[in-house]
Chains A and B, each alone.
Chain A
Amino acid sequence: MPPTTTASAARAESLVKRYGSGQTAVTALDGVSIEIPAGSFTSVMGPSGSGKSTLLHCMAGLDSTDSGQVWIADDEITSMGDRQLTKLRRDRIGFVFQAFNLLPVLTAARNVTLPLDIAGRTADRDWLATVVETVGLTDRMSHRPSELSGGQQQRVAIARALVSRPAIVFADEPTGNLDSRASAEVLDLLRRCVSDFGQTVVMVTHDPLAASYSDRVVFLADGQIVGTLESPSPQTVIDRMRSLADANRG
């Protein structure tokens, strides 16, 4: 199928991913096709082992696939080599992880500009200022990660994800290690990235409240997409999760 020219930030087609081999083989993704429209905020939900993290890793070029294709914007990435893929992650993709994953030896400011530093590029001053202001850490930029709170660290991580104006930001359980207040700050920030900057965000979460910040929720079970929910609220997400669990049981 030729790539469509609609404004999709990322797209997956019949993704299959297996771990192990023979009797013990586990199929983490079993023919997943998904399209992420540009400028949208998508949540991926599902029970443990449903393949939601694997989907994120494969779409972000962190993990290889067994079959199927992935596009970031118009670039097909499943055929790329490590060098090319690394460059793609550096220039086109932003990451936010559950464990913040900041480098302890760098200041917050240097952590934010890390992808640019690695590429040997200088940051666009205005954009950098905007990003830092948006995450609300202008006065904490000279601190080291160990001197910041969890929420502050995650906001630094978000700034880092935004700094290279990527085509898409992948967030893997970004609130998993945070208390409710810090979680709300981080989610609000991600929401504003989408609304104010037109940034595309895909977030893996298991928290219905977190999912309610997004435009659309994609539900995964046993490596397959089992449903979507537009304009979710915490209650509609919980209801859908319950009905999916019941269907599974029945």
Chain B
Amino acid sequence: MFAATFRSLLAHRARLVLTALAIALGTGFMAASFVFTATLTHSLDALFAQSATGTDVIVQHATPPGANFGAGSGSAKPVPASVAVTVRGVAGVAADDGVVSGRAVLLGRDGKPLPGQFAVALSWPKDSPFQTIYTRRSGRPPSGPSQVMIDRGSARSGHFVIGDRIDVAIGGQARAFTITGITGYGSADSIGGGSMAIFSLNTAQRLFSLDGHFSQILVKAASGISAQQLRDRVAGVLPAGVQAVTAASAAANQAQQLNSQLSFLTYFFAGFAGVSLFVGAFVIWNTFSIMVGQRIRELALLRALGGRRGQVFRSVLGEAALLGCAGAIAGVLLGIALARGLAALLATFGAALPVSGLVVPVAGTVASFGAGLVVTMAAAVPPAWRATGVAPVQALRDAVPAESSYSARRLVAGLALLCAGVAAVLVGLFGVTSASVTGVGAAFCFLGFTVLGPLFARPLAAAVGLPLTAVAGSTGALARGNAMRNPKRTSATAAALMIGLALIVAASVLVGSARSVIGGQIAAGSKTSFYVQATNTDAGLTPTLASALAAVPGVEGVAEVRTTDATVAGSAHQNVDGVEAAVIGSFASLGVSQGSVASLASGKLLVSRAVAIAHRWHVGDAVRIGFGSYGVSTLRIGGIFANTGPLSSYLISLPAFAADTGIRTDNVDLVRAPSSARRDLLRALAGYPGAQLLDQAGYAKSRESVLGTILNLITALLVLAVIIALLGIASTLALSVAERTRELGLLRAVGMQRGQVAAMIAGESVIIAIIGALTGTALGLGLGAALAAALTRSQQLTVVVPGGQVAVYVVAAALAGLLAALAPARRAGRMNMITAIASE
């Protein structure tokens, strides 16, 4: 029995390769996400572990629980220099050193930032143990106010050597330094793909306004004392709020914190891997359905010869198991290769991560393999079950594929699934607001459409194929007829494409609507004509620039806006803006409905109506906001405003912001000036390569651009699902071509040219692809509209259908259908007529 299964697999190998590939792609994506995450985790661990070299204990400000900063937000709260003196007095301290860190962007000779995933500024440690991380040094460490040491990577990419002059942007403002030294970082040329600007301690303190303070105090233990012992001793002498941690645990903690921030990537990719496997399941189900249909005689013979139903079932399922194994193994291998590609893909979309080496997690790999195998077998169960229904007598009859007729049961089942799906989507979006309920609902909608598919496939194929008959005559008519002849097959093949396209369309409707909301808000809520924005948000803009802008002729007013990432009422990664309480009202029409803008000045918090509704906040309520090592502040709501305009949902005054975050650089300067002031403003920005001048539209665009990037990333990931669907089309066509050998042979015999036969198959493929595209678009528009409504309802209910984009998707799907038909069409054209028409 098993040998027969294996032989049957081999006999269909060409077509099964396509099916196995469909499994392999989904499995591969899943494995890739695991491998990628593990590799990233490992890279981060290694990076931070390395940073602890030479240090035993680190003294720094503690971050209270629930106050985590987001990645790239302000630096840690500085520690007074007096603490270092106290620490030095502790027995067992061999060396101690206060260091300062900040953000400084190295500029190339063209004035543009040197490539680097991030830009750090450090102070040169005075004691040798703390210098050991800086390896393969050349030149001298920086000592004077105009000296800098840079990393080897930047020196190479910018073609800098010792003695060269280099511009460094601090707070967006370019300052000239002389390169006195070049260094590596541990075993690497730089720190995890970022650039390093290393100044003398005094210079760094002056540049980052940290006179008399350190970011951290590094401590080295005397011989015979463990890091843990020293930590305990040091901890005993520290003032409140300052903590001592071993360098090892600090590194582990930092790595763990960054990893947990990146954990969303795992879910993100796993989601797409799930979509791919779901689509792959359709392809497998369809392929096995067709193969069981074609093998009815064989199966009936098996039954006639005494094979039991269970044996038939196992034979089909065994085939699926073998196929699933092969596909899943290929997928895991593919995934390992793909993991590298994933890092490159993210880098393309502007999210560069320090990835080095390749870590293959056993659990994740096994899970991916298992998922591929289980999905394949599960998808083969319905066809296998149908195979057991084959009566022995069918071995003697001519196998005529049964035409599926209208079935009331199908209609009821399909509508029930669809209604359940729609209900779940709506409940997930507007009721319990759960992404998984929404996702399950969407899956039910897909299944509902798939069940209903055969009822509508025939009229749809007839309608879609109509233009083809007009253009391509009998070839087109035959293509249309072929697409119509087996509605179940046509709809199942189109279903896989439908899912991929529905998700893409939904994403584009969602993003289009969100964009429109942002653009509309900035336009409506703003009285600002120019925006001077930091090109590197982390580095920010020095307040000096704001004064310089205010002095530009024609400028009526300038307002500084500072931004940080904070944990608001328990939810991390919320933007909180610091604004000038007295003037912000004249730059943005906030539309305060309760309370007042003036309350900002008395240390109150202003919140947007959207978040106030979501949290059920009222004026006077207390909101806890965590600002990392600056601690948790409890702020009272002093007002609720309608239009966020160019600002965030949470506003506090600049003094409060400085006290709570330590950030002294601006994110954007709002400028009120006639448009004629543009040239003078540009001139004022001459010395500030880290600042860009944007008008209303440009600023809206820059705020929306993140969404565009997200849409591109989502589309790129969903394209995989579409490719799997195309494999499905190719596989179905290959099976259909094999099934219609006789017809194709006849067509050739009575005078159809090879090209016409190929065109006929391609036509059928295009019809199927367009059916998938149209149903997918319909479903996607519905889903996207629901998503957009849910997302924007608290602000201004907006549903935007990017018509041009959707049209492009449908056309692309049709062309892809053509591509999928290439191989089967070629094969059909080259079919041997004699074997095709020869009698049995």
Residues of A within 8 A of B (CB): 53, 57, 60, 62-63, 82-83, 86-87, 89-91, 95, 97-99, 101, 103-106, 110, 114-115, 117-120, 146, 160, 172-173, 176
Contacts and interface: CB of A to CB of B under 8 A. Distances in A.
Name the 10 nearest CB pairs between A and B, nearest first: A90-B751, A105-B481, A117-B474, A101-B746, A98-B839, A89-B751, A115-B750, A118-B752, A105-B485, A86-B753
A1 B119 CA distance: 90
B749 A89 contact: yes
Given A103-B478, A110-B477, A118-B747, 12 more contacts: A53-B838, A62-B833, A62-B834, A86-B753, A87-B753, A90-B751, A101-B837, A106-B478, A106-B481, A117-B474, A160-B750, A176-B839
Given A105-B484, A117-B473, A117-B477, A87 B751 contact: yes
Contact of A118 (B400, B745, B756): B756
B826 interface: no
Contact of A86 (B745, B746, B752, B834): B752
Contact of A95 (B473, B482, B742, B750): B750
B743 interface: yes
B462 to A, nearest CB: 12
Contacts of A146: 400
B748 interface: yes
B636 interface: no
A90 B750 CA distance: 5
Contacts of B42: none
A103 B756 contact: no
Contacts of B165: none
Contacts of A101: 742-743, 745-746, 749, 837
B703 interface: no
B754 interface: yes
A118 B474 contact: yes
Nearest to A60: B749
A89 B840 CA distance: 23
Contact of B749 (A83, A95, A105, A119): A95
For B484, B743, B751, B840, which residue has the most chain A Cβ atoms within 10 angstroms? B751
B753 A83 contact: yes
A104 B834 contact: no
Contact of B834 (A63, A119, A160): A63
A45 B834 CA distance: 19
B767 to A, nearest CB: 13
A88 to B, nearest CB: 8
Contact of A97 (B478, B485, B837): B837
Contacts of B752: 86, 90, 118
27 contacts: A53-B838, A62-B833, A62-B834, A63-B833, A86-B748, A86-B751, A86-B752, A87-B751, A91-B751, A95-B746, A99-B742, A99-B840, A101-B745, A103-B743, A104-B743, A106-B478, A110-B477, A114-B747, A115-B750, A115-B751, A117-B477, A118-B475, A118-B750, A118-B752, A120-B474, A160-B750, A172-B839
B839 A173 contact: yes
Contacts of B485: 104-105
Contacts of B747: 103, 114, 118
Given A62-B834, A99-B839, A103-B746, A119 B751 contact: yes
Interface of B: 400, 473-475, 477-478, 481-482, 484-485, 742-743, 745-754, 756, 833-834, 837-840
A211 B478 CA distance: 36
Nearest to B479: A105
For A98, A101, A160, A173, which residue has the most chain B Cβ atoms within 10 angstroms? A101
Nearest to B752: A118
A144 B474 CA distance: 16
A118 B477 CA distance: 10
A86 B839 CA distance: 21
Contacts of A82: 754
Contacts of A97: 746, 837, 839
A160 B750 CA distance: 9
Contacts of A91: 751
Contacts of A120: 473-474
A168 to B, nearest CB: 14
A2 to B, nearest CB: 28
Nearest to B754: A82
Contacts of B756: 118
B401 to A, nearest CB: 9
For A63, A95, A104, which residue has the most chain B Cβ atoms within 10 angstroms? A104
For B747, B749, B753, B840, which residue has the most chain A Cβ atoms within 10 angstroms? B749
A132 B838 CA distance: 27
Nearest to B400: A146
Contacts of B484: 105
A122 to B, nearest CB: 11
Contacts of B400: 146
Contacts of B748: 86
Contacts of B837: 62, 97, 99, 101
Contacts of B473: 117, 120
B839 to A, nearest CB: 5
A193 B484 CA distance: 36
Contacts of B742: 99, 101
A63 B834 CA distance: 7
Nearest to B832: A63
For B473, B474, B477, which residue has the most chain A Cβ atoms within 10 angstroms? B474
A86 B758 CA distance: 14
B745 to A, nearest CB: 8
A176 B482 CA distance: 28
Contacts of A98: 839
A82 B754 CA distance: 9
Nearest to B475: A118
A89 B750 contact: yes
Contacts of A57: 834
A16 B808 CA distance: 57
B311 to A, nearest CB: 32
A38 B742 CA distance: 30
Contacts of B751: 86-87, 89-91, 115, 118-119
Contacts of A63: 833-834
Nearest to B744: A103
B661 to A, nearest CB: 72
A117 B475 CA distance: 8
Contacts of A89: 749-751
Nearest to A103: B743
A55 B752 CA distance: 22
For A105, A114, A119, which residue has the most chain B Cβ atoms within 10 angstroms? A105
Nearest to B403: A146
Nearest to B743: A103
B478 A105 contact: yes
Contacts of A173: 839
Nearest to A146: B400
A199 B473 CA distance: 29
A87 B754 CA distance: 11
A98 to B, nearest CB: 5
Nearest to B745: A101
A58 to B, nearest CB: 10
Nearest to A64: B834
B231 to A, nearest CB: 81
A146 B837 CA distance: 18
A60 B749 CA distance: 9
A173 B481 CA distance: 29
A233 to B, nearest CB: 27
A86 B753 CA distance: 6
A95 B473 CA distance: 22
B325 to A, nearest CB: 37
A95 B748 CA distance: 11
B61 to A, nearest CB: 77
Nearest to A160: B750
A114 B750 contact: yes
A91 B748 CA distance: 13
A231 to B, nearest CB: 29
A103 B746 CA distance: 8
A103 B479 CA distance: 12
